[in-house]
Structure 1
Amino acid sequence: MLTSIILFSAFAGITVFIGGLLANYFNHHIKESPVKYEITHTLMSFGAGIILSALALVLIPKGMEQLTLLPMVLSFLFGAILFMLLDRYLAKKGGQIATLLAMIMDFVPESIALGAVFALDQSMATLLAIFIGLQNLPEAFNSYRDLVESGFSAKKTLVIFFALSFFGIIAALIGHFLLADSPNLTAHLMTFASGGILYLLIQDIIPASKLDKNYLTSLGATLGFTVGIIGEKII
């Protein structure tokens, strides 16, 4: 079982690095044009839809299943307020890492859940790993763009993404060995992450993906959420 956890969480994580590589190629080898600009914003919107689906279909429902009303609300609001303060601090510093933060807030709790689920249902854990991997690809693509625009070099950004790829393995092992018997703590983590993700989506990610007189970007978000629906239905 341990080998399976490592392999599947590695698959879910390596798509972070792959998404960064694709974004690097797209940025540096595709000529600047209105079409490229539209594709970039549509992918941003698609990633936002996938993040929203993870929030609405996985993180919050799992928290609601386990927690009573007051602890759930407090965890959710704590996540939102903490990330509002962090976002304000980063704005003063001139950073654009909202998509990266949202990806990490989504990726880490889900990977922890992945490790915990392996102890209960390996087939469900396998599908969950595939779902997480599919989510990470467009999210990493968009995060790469944010980091480069914030002043990070392409090389440094890819190094960060390569390191993040291994977070999934660490988180899954933590979930399997430390949190499999602590469903309340796992639920608090998911609910806390949900509050932070929702704040980042509304404040930074969704507004940045919009283009005037272009409706494809909104469709991209809808398609991203559809991917989440399909994944949750299969799981």
Structure 2
Amino acid sequence: MLIKLILHSAFAGFTVFLGGILANFFNHHIKETPVKYEIIHFLMSFGAGIILSAIALVLIPTGMEDLSLSEMAFSFILGTLVFLFIDRYLSKKGGQTATLLAMLMDFIPEAIALGAVFAINPNMGTLLAVFIGLQNLPEAFNAYRDMVQSGYSAQKTLIIFFFLSFCGILGALLGHFVLRDFPSLTAHLMTFASGGILYLLIQEIIPESKLDNNYITSLGASLGFLIGIVGEKLI
């Protein structure tokens, strides 16, 4: 059981590194054309749709199961305010890391949930690992581009992504051995993450994905959300 959990969470995390590799290839080996620009923005909106589906279908429902209204509202508002101040701080430094923050605030709580789920239903855990891995791929692709534009070298960004890919294993082990006995704490974490992610989506990610006189990018957000619906239905 433990080996299976580690392998599944490793897959879910590896797509963070894989998304960075694909973005690196796309940046350096695909010619700069209007079509490339449209693809980039499509993937940005696609990733935003997936992140939004994680909030609506995974993170918030988990919080609603174990928290009272006041507890849930507190965690959600706290997450929003914390990431508002983080975003303001990073904006003053001139960095573009909103997509990376949103990805991690989505990935880590879901990895913790993966560990807790595996203790109860391994088959559901397998589907959840696939769902998380599919989410991480476009999110990491976009986060890589943001970090390179912020001044990080391609090599340094890929090294960061390589080590971040192991967060899935650590989160799953934490959820499996520790937080599965504290469902309210896990619910607070999920709700806190939801507030922060939603703030980053509205403030940073969605505006960046918009292209004038182009409608395919908005379609990408809907398709991204559909991925979340399919994953939740399968789970």
Give the TM-score band, short-chain normalised. over 0.9
Alignment of 1:40-189 (within 5 A): 40-189=40-189
Q: Deviation of residue 172 (structure 1)?
A: 0.4
User: Aligned letter for 1:76?
Assistant: F
Would you say how many aligned residue pairs link Structure 1 and Structure 2?
Answer: 235
Distance 1:13 1:95 in 2: 24
Q: Tell me the amino acid that sits aligned with residue 136 of structure 2.
A: N
Query: Can you list the C-alpha shifts for 1:34-86, whole angstroms capped at 9, x where unaligned?
Result: 00000000000000000000000000011001100000000000000000000
Over the aligned positions, Cα root-mean-square deviation in angstroms equals 0.3
- 3-state SS in 2 of match to 1:212: coil
- The 2-side partners of 1:128 and 1:159 are apart by 26
- Between the aligned partners of 1:197 and 1:121, the Cα distance in structure 2 is 28
Deviation per CA, 1:166-222: give whole Å up to 9, x if none: 000001000001101100000000000000000000000000000000000000000
Secondary structure of the 1:180 match is: helix
With structure 1 as the length reference, what TM-score do the two structures score?
1.00
Percent identical among aligned pairs is 74
Q: Deviations over 1:109-130 (max 9, x none)?
A: 0000000111110011100000
Residue identity in the other structure for 1:78 = L
Is 1:24–2:47 an aligned residue pair?
no
Residue 96 of structure 1 aligns to which amino acid in structure 2?
A: Q
> In the TM superposition, what is the alpha-carbon distance from 1:17 to its structure 2 partner?
0.4
Give the counterpart letter for 1:100 in structure 2: L
Classify the secondary structure of the residue corresponding to 2:211. coil
**Alpha-carbon distance in 1 for matches of 2:41, 2:28:** 16
Q: Secondary structure at the match of 2:228?
A: helix
**SS of equivalent residue, structure 2 residue 14:** helix
Matched position secondary structure for 2:181? coil
Which blocks of at least 5 consecutive residues in structure 1 are unaligned? Answer: none
* Structure 1 residues 131-165: Cα deviation after superposition (integer angstroms, max 9, x where no partner): 00000000000000000000000000000100000
| Equivalent-residue separation in structure 2 for 1:223 and 1:145 (angstroms) | 21
- Alpha-carbon distance, 1:6 to partner: 0.4
Runs of 4 or more, structure 1, over 3 Å off, are none
Aligned partners of 1:197, 1:5: CA distance in 2, in Å? 26
Q: TM-score, normalised by structure 2?
A: 1.00
**What is the 5 A alignment of 1:213-228?**
213-228=213-228
Q: Distance in 1 between matches of 2:33 and 2:75?
A: 44
Q: Secondary structure at the match of 2:31?
A: coil
Give, in whole Å, the separation in 2 of the partners of 1:4 and 1:175. Answer: 15
